[in-house]
Structure 1
């Protein structure tokens, strides 16, 4: 047992010794590794310090300290080898950099000033240099072969931050002025705009550039109002971003490349600070502007503005009056700054650029300058574009499409609103064919602004794009309602087609249905507020239709242009902003109010012959001021119209002209000229107030109740309705098929009745002028008992005046003339006998009908009769009608759900010689 225990103890001790040995080996290795690591770290720290300070820049004391380091020899040898290898490889470096700058900074961007200063640039501004020279640098020593140009990116590429050193403000001004003159001299006048703000200066900011201040190329800002500059820049960024996004681009540079046009000028904003941090709110605004500026073609040059920006930015930090370090070259290379350009030469060069810009802008532009070189070459599938004016020589366009579907135009009387509308219509018509654009034009004011666009007595031409022209409709709100109904019907038709082809917008519909006729429709309604002038059904229906078209019209290519002198008092839209919200395109004439956004007062100070164009719902950042040339004077628009009329001759029909100041002429009306003998005679009473040139008439079949009453004391209108009814019926019967019986109880109307009688006889019809109405009615009533009764039309003028005679019973007669009249009204239509009578009051008509009700009067036309008197004759409907001259309210119980307003035809005057015209 003892031996066994001793053996176990020996084995344990042996194992412990082995463990101690292994631990010793591990600890020794760790100590060695740590020592090696510490040595390597020390060597790396020495190398880092030498690189940071520079082998050639260390003083003697520093050099001695480095030499004491155990790894000094190894580090100096290594760095020396690297430096020698670098300079061996760098032999071509300066030349490569010079070539790089020359390629990216051509002309004024990088060349010596003697080659360009004082010359006006020609680059249109679609693209620009990528680099702009500020000085030079040498790689090592003063070897000229190792000197290269130093340039900084600007414009689309990067912002620039300059930090001054003590007493270097003149040097900084020189750097900034050199850069600005290089940029301004590289592009054509107007392609670059400079904005200057200095926290410490009111007017003495780069005074050599002051010749440019009389143009838009240079703008100065109040030192206490940095927010004005930042707000303006933010507005440009939002507007350009919206424009680019609509076109599918993320930056102005992409948009320029895609269109091949400058679209917007470059902008350079120079902000001079004083080294102090900006107020927190201004600093936040500056950061926001800087983050989106480059994509909008806006470059910031920040001088002693310590605010950090989250955008691409290069730095230039001055060491003294001649030298600086730049982020473009790194802190190890010192930049020798270019000297400031000679003051006198800069002033003269700036003056020449200003003169060239003024010359380019020219004087007032003409209407012809709005028009393209070739007519009808544009496609409207995606949108409509039209040049409507000029700003500093550059065209200002209006865009109507999905993004800005409807327009609101406002301006007081005499502000140029009509002139602007002609500029817009002319520019659109010149760019698009009538297959691409259809115009519906309505003018509610008492004038004929659009009348010349339809054929007239003096000028037979018309604007081929016009489908409808309505003028003098200030009292015919129903015509505006008719236009909205037409547009709503067209919207439904297009929506159905889009659904059938499984598309959602006009562009896709035209692509899927190339054989269809889908032009963009622009409906211009001048003084549109008249549509909502009353608290009645017209206002209610117009409001509903207008809101629906405004919401859904954009996708189907139906656009509204609403113009008004004042949009403040449209009560129908209080609490219903749908229409105005959809009118993202706002045009404000001088002194216009409440057209743009509430806080946007740009139009108040706009000069005459100008307009503020805004595609952003009137928000201030969307303002574009445009000079609108004379477009409405004599022969200005007409010349274009004649040119277009001849170009599209015979291809497009004449527009429908509705002139509320003139009554239609029956003989010239299509519904009358197309009449011919047929089985369903129809008496025409007047013109329908509708988009189509239609007539309102009453069919007179052999059916009960087919009699017509003319109601009211307006003699001229009553005679007209009676006349047109008789003459239209006469055209629908062969000679001998109809007999007209005329009776007049009003002496003043006797000549007119006699004239109509003679006219009917001249056409070969039997026309009897009854002197004894009771006897005539007795004869007609008795004749209806026979089976063979010819069609008779009784034309009874002034029935109310004949009532005393009709009520009198002849001796020995059981019935009076009134009894026979009631029999004729009740039974006559079934036998082909129809009465067309004129009663001058509703009460007299009721007396005539007696207790038999109103069913025997199947249709009526009311003149100067109040609407509340007409309800018994309109199937109990509440009739909204306020009489007005030259208009009648028409209702046919067999076809109408509600009465409609008509325009009686113009009754021909008798010939002075006694005949008929």
Structure 2
């Protein structure tokens, strides 16, 4: 156990050791602090030298005074040594690399001396611009001229250029601006670059050597007091370009042009000369918006003494005296000088040459041929349909139908060129997109044949290969317009189901998912579409609902509507249903058109003839494009294109529905296919006839009702001839009864047609009318396995004989006829009777005989009188020439409208 003294000694030793360690630590910390403070001074010194540049630092009194500090002097020596080493390396390797870079990226007029290109027309198509544009020369401060290099900056499709002047430097500033503009104008084909000049201090405009360009519209000198108008114009153009780019899923105009393989929109370059003062707040905000969004839309600014915020892609050149400047590309240690300008006379001649070329090309009258591509049928409709329809100062103006602009409204009074515009649009589409990419359904509610030429005719056998359906003279057949809308709704449902199956949402994705199937885009053009809604009836209600549905959902499935009208106002069917108008974001206004554009947009009121306003932004003013539409409907224009396409394409002829003509029975698909008894043509998209099933069950008889003799005979003839065609000769019997002598000759022709087809026929004319009761009795008593068909013409005319009761049973011929109607179908005896009025039919049938007529066709009979024959439902029918209403209670839920056939050719051919 240690003693007290020993413990004290050991504690003192430990304390001594601790003090020694702490002293050493404190000394080291002080040294580290001194070293840290020295390093901090050195870094701050180095930073200040680098901030102002070594050249300026060598003249800075504060910097030179601080060199008395050995630590800072060492830093200075290191910086100068590194500079000398780096500069030597850069001079050896980097200077050549910069020159090579400018030579590679600023090709042709963008970088070469003006003597090599000024005065020659550019030929670059403008798909993509050079990455750099030369603005002068640069060299490191205090270095010899052999150390100079060309200075080029990014501009078109990339950035803007800002120039800040100094006293006496305006000549150098103008030289940079004029030369870089000439480089652009001389690189690309004339017209690809459009200039806007604004100078706050000059009423006559700056850059006078370029003023010849104004005569061709390539340069616009703006009023110094109307900067607002210029900024609004640029902003509106940016919005339009961005909207067009988004339609094809692109983010910039450059991407659109690269994908299209051509320049679809000229570059806009606005040169603004200010005075160094900031403009008012609203103008400043608008200018900055243009600066931020302009490059992606092909809009660029060259600003001279115009303040602008720094949050936009922009290179800056700041003059420090009359001749030298610094630039944001090279930093403060590099001196920039403008290239010497070209002589004014040479610049003026070059500008005049560009002007003359544009004027000469525009001076040639634009024709329908200019709307067509060099090679026909080579484009894909996967994403959209696009075609030029006219020209604005020689530049094409396009119509686009796609996801962003799915449907179009076209309006213009009679004689304004609406039909010509439709032909220009259809011709452009047909020339670009083959039938596998585009299908057309065309309807004209006018009393004319605008689209009839797209189908085979007597003089021209060609047809438009993309056309699937053409309807003309349908002004009284609104049911056909309704049938087209039903067809589009069904096609929409079919595509939606396929998209759901593939788990996609739009046509482009569906085509990618099912590349082996044809999914063309569909365009339905309905001229004078408002005729669909002229009445307050079921057709109007159904058409409004279907049209709204197709307009709303067709966008994603590649179904597009083009609705044309003289005036779209006042369609009551759309009150409270704005979807159709909202979805028609493409608006086309012909001269004097009203209401198709937005209410504040009056551009169409001052249009000259053969012009149109195209607007892809729902009619708002900033979306206006004015186009001169060439003649597309005269001989040698559209018809010549159609003939070329027809010769090169193997497609079936489109279905033609002409409401002014009765269809020929021999051309009916169901007649040719021998599908059994037909009665007339159904008003439908497909070539479809009203057909019957004559099963051996009660009620399978047919009544034709009305006084329209020609139409009634047509329906009876159609039934006879189609039955005869569907039976093998001698496998059935025909009984023709005609108690009216005036019709006997016609019925005799029917008999001859049946005999030529080698069928057994029994014919009873008016002279046999008194024997009809016996004929009916004999017919019902005969036993045979063959089906028998009775065609009883003008049944009501035979009542005077049929009502007579014969002794001894006192059974009248009318009783026998009623028995025939009731029991005949079960014995395979089917009666087709024609009664000249609904009351006369009821007289024949008696109190309980309505069920014996399973199908009927009514001609000039009001719909209200037909309810008892249609299971009590209201029949929405008003008689009109050469139309009938058909109802078969075994298959129909509601009546259909049919058109009697022209049977004259069939009677002769049978």
TM-score category, normalised to shorter length: 0.7 to 0.9
Q: Deviations over 1:299-320 (max 9, x none)?
A: 2222222230412211122233
Is it true that 1:713 corresponds to 2:713 in the alignment? no
Aligned-pair distance for 1:434? 3.0
CA distance in 2, matches of 1:685, 1:861: 8
Paired residues of 1:162 and 1:316 also in contact (CA < 8 A) = yes
3-state SS in 2 of match to 1:540? helix
Is it true that 1:771 corresponds to 2:755 in the alignment? no
Is it true that 1:852 corresponds to 2:848 in the alignment? yes
Aligned-pair distance for 1:183? 1.6
Aligned-pair distance for 1:853? 4.7
Distance 1:724 1:248, change over 3 A: closer
Aligned-pair distance for 1:893? 1.3
Paired residues of 1:795 and 1:836 also in contact (CA < 8 A) = yes
Aligned-pair distance for 1:735? 5.2
Is it true that 1:886 corresponds to 2:882 in the alignment? yes
Higher deviation after alignment, 707-716 or 388-397: 388-397
Match of residue 654 from structure 1: 653
3-state SS in 2 of match to 1:784? helix
Cα RMSD after superposing both structures: 4.0
Paired residues of 1:291 and 1:309 also in contact (CA < 8 A) = no
Aligned-pair distance for 1:13? 9.6
Aligned-pair distance for 1:391? 4.1
Distance 1:378 1:12, change over 3 A: closer
Match of residue 280 from structure 1: 281
3-state SS in 1 of match to 2:852? coil
CA distance in 2, matches of 1:338, 1:878: 88
Paired residues of 2:389 and 2:397 also in contact (CA < 8 A) = yes
3-state SS in 1 of match to 2:294? helix
3-state SS in 1 of match to 2:293? helix
Match of residue 578 from structure 1: 579
Match of residue 331 from structure 2: 330
Match of residue 187 from structure 1: 188
TM-score with structure 2 length normalisation? 0.87
Is it true that 1:458 corresponds to 2:459 in the alignment? yes
Aligned-pair distance for 1:216? 4.0
Aligned-pair distance for 1:131? 2.7
CA distance in 1, matches of 2:43, 2:498: 77
Distance 1:48 1:798, change over 3 A: closer
Aligned-pair distance for 1:702? 3.9
Q: Which residue of the other structure, out of 823, 829, 837, is the alignment partner of 1:827? A: 823
Match of residue 838 from structure 2: 842
CA distance in 2, matches of 1:579, 1:63: 75
Higher deviation after alignment, 64-73 or 311-320: 64-73
3-state SS in 1 of match to 2:846? helix
Aligned length: 903
Distance 1:307 1:781, change over 3 A: same
CA distance in 1, matches of 2:561, 2:744: 50
Match of residue 733 from structure 2: 738
CA distance in 2, matches of 1:64, 1:707: 120
Paired residues of 2:736 and 2:747 also in contact (CA < 8 A) = no
3-state SS in 2 of match to 1:428? helix
Paired residues of 1:155 and 1:267 also in contact (CA < 8 A) = no
Show the 5 A alignment for 1:464-483: 464-483=465-484
Q: Which residue of the other structure, out of 685, 700, 725, is the alignment partner of 1:691? A: 685
Gaps of 5+ in 2: none
Aligned-pair distance for 1:133? 2.9
Gaps of 5+ in 1: none
CA distance in 1, matches of 2:472, 2:298: 46
Aligned-pair distance for 1:889? 0.7
Q: Deviations over 1:59-85 (max 9, x none)?
A: 797798567767786566555545544
3-state SS in 2 of match to 1:640? helix
Show the 5 A alignment for 1:17-36: none
3-state SS in 2 of match to 1:412? coil
CA distance in 1, matches of 2:332, 2:60: 23
CA distance in 2, matches of 1:829, 1:67: 125
Higher deviation after alignment, 854-863 or 395-404: 395-404
3-state SS in 2 of match to 1:687? strand
CA distance in 1, matches of 2:60, 2:497: 91
Distance 1:866 1:6, change over 3 A: same
Aligned-pair distance for 1:873? 0.7
Aligned-pair distance for 1:905? 1.8
Show the 5 A alignment for 1:305-704: 305-361=306-362, 363-497=364-498, 506=507, 516-648=517-649, 651-675=650-674, 682=677, 684-704=678-698
CA distance in 1, matches of 2:825, 2:14: 137
Aligned-pair distance for 1:444? 2.0
Match of residue 206 from structure 1: 207
Paired residues of 2:739 and 2:797 also in contact (CA < 8 A) = no
Distance 1:61 1:225, change over 3 A: closer
Aligned-pair distance for 1:241? 3.9
Aligned-pair distance for 1:110? 3.0
CA distance in 2, matches of 1:46, 1:862: 106
Show the 5 A alignment for 1:35-114: 52=52, 77-78=77-78, 80-85=80-85, 87-89=87-89, 91-92=91-92, 94-114=95-115
Aligned-pair distance for 1:760? 5.5
Is it true that 1:874 corresponds to 2:875 in the alignment? no
CA distance in 1, matches of 2:492, 2:87: 75
Aligned-pair distance for 1:370? 3.0
3-state SS in 2 of match to 1:876? coil
TM-score with structure 1 length normalisation? 0.87
Aligned-pair distance for 1:896? 1.3
Aligned-pair distance for 1:901? 0.5
Paired residues of 2:772 and 2:802 also in contact (CA < 8 A) = no
Q: Deviations over 1:640-665 (max 9, x none)?
A: 222232223xx432222211100122
Match of residue 269 from structure 1: 270
Is it true that 1:290 corresponds to 2:286 in the alignment? no
CA distance in 2, matches of 1:4, 1:727: 144
Higher deviation after alignment, 127-136 or 825-834: 825-834
Aligned-pair distance for 1:879? 0.9
CA distance in 1, matches of 2:29, 2:358: 79
Is it true that 1:897 corresponds to 2:885 in the alignment? no
CA distance in 1, matches of 2:121, 2:844: 92
CA distance in 2, matches of 1:497, 1:19: 87
CA distance in 1, matches of 2:137, 2:408: 55
Distance 1:699 1:153, change over 3 A: closer
CA distance in 2, matches of 1:444, 1:231: 41
Higher deviation after alignment, 146-155 or 167-176: 167-176
Aligned-pair distance for 1:874? 0.4
Paired residues of 1:588 and 1:595 also in contact (CA < 8 A) = yes
Distance 1:121 1:551, change over 3 A: same
3-state SS in 1 of match to 2:481? helix
CA distance in 2, matches of 1:788, 1:256: 79
Aligned-pair distance for 1:900? 0.6
Aligned-pair distance for 1:364? 2.5
Q: Deviations over 1:653-682 (max 9, x none)?
A: 222221110012234434334549xxxx62
Match of residue 124 from structure 1: 125
CA distance in 2, matches of 1:831, 1:72: 125
CA distance in 2, matches of 1:786, 1:494: 56
Paired residues of 1:567 and 1:595 also in contact (CA < 8 A) = yes
Distance 1:165 1:778, change over 3 A: same
Paired residues of 1:94 and 1:145 also in contact (CA < 8 A) = no
